[in-house]
Amino acid sequence: MLGRTLFALTALTAALVIPSATPDADAAVLATTSLTNASTGRTLSLRTGDQISVRLRPVQGNGEKWTWSTPAVSSADVLTRTEGREGPDGGATAEIRVDGAGQSDITAQRTCTATRPQHRCRHATFQWRVTVNAH
Rounded Cα gap, residues 61 and 101, in angstroms: 41
Give pLDDT, residue 14: 42
Domain 29-134 -> CATH class: mainly beta
Weakly modelled stretches of the chain, pLDDT under 70: 1-29
- CB distance 60 to 66 below 8 Å: yes
Give pLDDT, residue 130: 98
Give pLDDT, residue 115: 92
Give pLDDT, residue 88: 96
Domain ranges of the chain: 29-134
- Rg of the Cα atoms in the chain: 25
The dihedral region occupied by 87, where left means phi > 0, alpha psi between -120 and 50, and beta the remainder, is beta
